[in-house]
Chain A
Amino acid sequence: MQRFIMVRAFHSLIALVAISVIVFGLARITGNPLDVLLPIEATQEDFDRVQRAWGLDKPLPLQYFKYVSNIFQGNFGESLKWQDKTAGELVISRFPATLQLASLAMIVSVVIALPIGVIAAVKKDTGIDYAGKVVALLGQSLPSFWLGIVLMWIFAVQLDLLPTSGKGGISHMILPAITLGFFQVAAIMRLTRSSLLEVLDTEFVKLARIKGVSERKVIWKHCLRNALITPLTYFGLILGSFLTGSVVTETVFAWPGVGLLAIDAVRARDFQVVQTVVLFFATIYIFANLLVDITYAYLDPRIRYD
């Protein structure tokens, strides 16, 4: 177990280093970042001065080293668009909004998906199961940004029940949370269904039934507990799609989170901020996957590195 955790953590570390190299490298292959940063009327002297001040005249590996050591000191660079703030501050200040939205979306999707998944498994090949399949297929085929706009059109413009976009009370969160959650509904539902079907077929369930345990108790207590392990292990993947999903959903609903920050930064070609957001999201994602793998290995002793 210890060995597994060590090896797995080492792999995560490699992935993180790789991402930082990619992000750093991309900023450099496009040429000198100063070409974009400095105003057109800057003279050659200005150019040289800034280049020396920022250490851009040093060899690349040295620059990378400097970049990483700056990150460890909490210095992610200056933002171009938001002059008074550093990239690190920006991401931290926007994170609570993203977290709010993502947690509400997570609750929405689990509350909807779990019961449907269970019913679809218990009543296999009935109308409900079929409806579940259609939802899953839609989840794969609907463009998420478009779903958001359609919901906005129906509930905010036509029915005038909810605000169209921006940040405010709980009513501002409903549409974004549903948009973000919908795509997880399809995934969680299918996972719950298939793993529950497997458990329903096992001996201990048959035994419970023979012993006269009520059907409701068999399904919700005996089966579901065992069936939930599979969906749990997909938590990492699901979290990943929440992170990327938040970029889209926040753009559609002008929700001022980290995702919208990334898009605004891309549009303003504010590379420091894009870099920071991507590193931030990637770290969360990799760390969550590491935790999931360790939990899974803990639950299932067959999973080890030899």
Chain B
Amino acid sequence: MANVALPQQLPEIEAPRGWQVISQVRRLPVVPILILLVVLVLPAIFADQLAPHDPLKGSLRNRLQPPAWTQAEVVNGVEVKPGGSWNHILGTDKQGRDMLSRIIHGARISLTVSLIAVFIAGLIGTTLGLMAGYYGGWVDHLVMRIVDIGLSIPAILLALVLVSAIGASFGTVIIVIGGIFWSRYARMVRGDTLSIKSQDFVSRARVAGASNRRIMVRHIFPNVANTVIVLGTLEIGQVILLEATLSFLGAGIPRPTPAWGLMVSDGRELIVNAWWVAMFPGVAILLTVLSLNLFGDWVRDRLDPKLQNV
């Protein structure tokens, strides 16, 4: 058989620009994005305009109204269970507060907490990861040891200790979540930094007289930015879930703030008579986290497919 030399590199065939854009748009996870907009983003931004009622003020006369589509139950001409009214589409809670309005305002809490917490975690994790990978030596040892320890304490337990020491508040939740989630950034960024710093452009920058800080910020960081963004989007869902869990346990956002986890907690004791109080906020959490996970997967596949197993 004749030896046929294969070309070392096949010529890259580039699709026309317009087609590329269309194919990207077509692959967008449309349903998750729509759900995210409807359940999380739009309510969070326009809560005051969208909510039909005040989320904190209720009237006891309207307490525990069922959702609008519930029919009144009448036995022998006497109403034993009241029906719903379109004034409170998703019903009201024990204090007569409108469920829909509370869920809409709850989106604002979820989004704010998760964005700030993810940002803080990303900032700490990326900084420490860059330093550990770049400097190596004892810095690396120290940081990685802290990461190991951080990963070896179950998150909820750490949160419980912090909350019982400092007290539950908006700030505590953010500190707790930021303090728990930074270690994954540190680990990934350190790994990337290790491989990037041995490349030529880094040593050339050093020869050109760039300071360590400049090399880290201007030369290495842009190369790990994708990893950070992907981890961030993948983690927002988990952060929302953790915040809701902490609030549910009474170790998160304090009452009477309309946080989704708190609302489910209020509904737990009412489950026999008023299922809607626990049900709807839970659906909001589920839809949000589910879509965020799907969206995060998509972002990962676009930007950084090597993170497949994260």
Q: Is the CB of A251 within 8 A of B275?
A: no
A27 to B279, CA, bound (A): 37
* Distance, CA A265 to CA B282, complexed state (A): 26
**Partner pick for A265 among B153, B164, B278, B279, CB 8 A cutoff:** B164
User: Which of B153, B156, B163, B290 contacts A248 (CB under 8 A)?
Assistant: B156
* B245 part of interface (Cβ distance < 8 Å): yes
Inter-subunit contact A244/B156 (CB<8 Å): yes
Within 8 A of A (CB), among B244-274: 244-245, 248-251, 261, 264-265, 267-268, 271-272
Q: Please give the distance in Å from A1's CB to the nearest CB on chain B.
A: 21
Q: From residue B64, how far is it (CB to closest CB) to chain A in Å?
A: 15
Rounded to whole Å, the gap between the CB of B4 and the closest CB of chain A is 30
Name A's interface SS.
helix
Q: Does A137 contact B (CB under 8 A)?
A: yes
Interface 1/0s, chain A 262-291, versus B by CB < 8 A? 110111011100110110011001100100
Q: Does B160 contact A266, Cβ atoms closer than 8 Å?
A: yes
Chain B residue contacts of A30, Cβ below 8 A: 165-166
Cβ < 8 Å to A, chain B residues 138-163: 145, 148-149, 152-158, 160-163
Smallest CB–CB gap between A150 and chain B, Å?
A: 7
Q: Are A146 and B152 in contact (CB under 8 A)?
A: no
- Any chain B CB within 8 A of the CB of A23? yes
A15 in the interface, Cβ–Cβ < 8 Å? Answer: yes
Asked whether, in the complex, the Cβ of B250 is within 8 Å of the Cβ of A29, the reply is no
CA distance A296 to B275 in the complex (A): 47
B159 to chain A, nearest CB (A): 9
Nearest CB in chain B: distance from A275 CB, A: 7
- A248 touching B160 by the CB < 8 A rule? no
Q: A62 within 8 Å of B by Cβ?
A: no
B49: min CB distance to chain A, Å = 28
Q: B154 contacts A150, CB within 8 Å?
A: no
| B209-260 interface with A by 8 A CB criterion | 237-238, 241, 244-245, 248-251
A interface bracket (residues with beta carbon within 8 Å of B): 35 or more
A199 to B214, CA, bound (A): 47
Whether A92 is near chain B, meaning CB under 8 Å from some CB there, is no
In the complex, what's the smallest C-beta–C-beta distance from B147 to chain A, in angstroms? 11
Smallest CB–CB gap between A151 and chain B, Å?
A: 11
> Interface residue tally of chain B, by bracket?
35 or more
Known A247-B160, A271-B164, A275-B161: A282·B285 in contact at CB below 8 Å: no
CA distance A145 to B238 in the complex (A): 14
Q: A29-B165, A141-B286, A149-B264 are in contact. Are A248 and B249 (CB under 8 A)?
A: yes
With an 8 A cutoff between CB atoms, is B289 at the interface? Answer: yes
Q: Map CB proximity to A onto B77-108 as digits: 1 under 8 Å, 0 otherwise.
A: 00000000000000000000000000000000
The contact of B278 among A23, A26, A149, A244, by CB within 8 Å, is: A149
Given known contacts A145-B264, A146-B264, is B250 in contact with A263 (CB within 8 Å)?
yes
- With known contacts A142-B286, A244-B157, A14–B244 Cβ distance under 8 A: no
Spell out B's residues near A (CB within 8 Å).
Answer: 145, 148-149, 152-158, 160-167, 237-238, 241, 244-245, 248-251, 261, 264-265, 267-268, 271-272, 275, 278-279, 282, 285-286, 289-290, 293-294
Contact sample, A vs B, 21 pairs, CB 8 Å cutoff: A14-B145, A14-B149, A15-B148, A27-B165, A30-B166, A137-B294, A140-B238, A143-B285, A150-B282, A153-B275, A240-B154, A241-B154, A247-B156, A247-B249, A248-B156, A262-B157, A271-B164, A274-B164, A277-B157, A281-B154, A285-B154
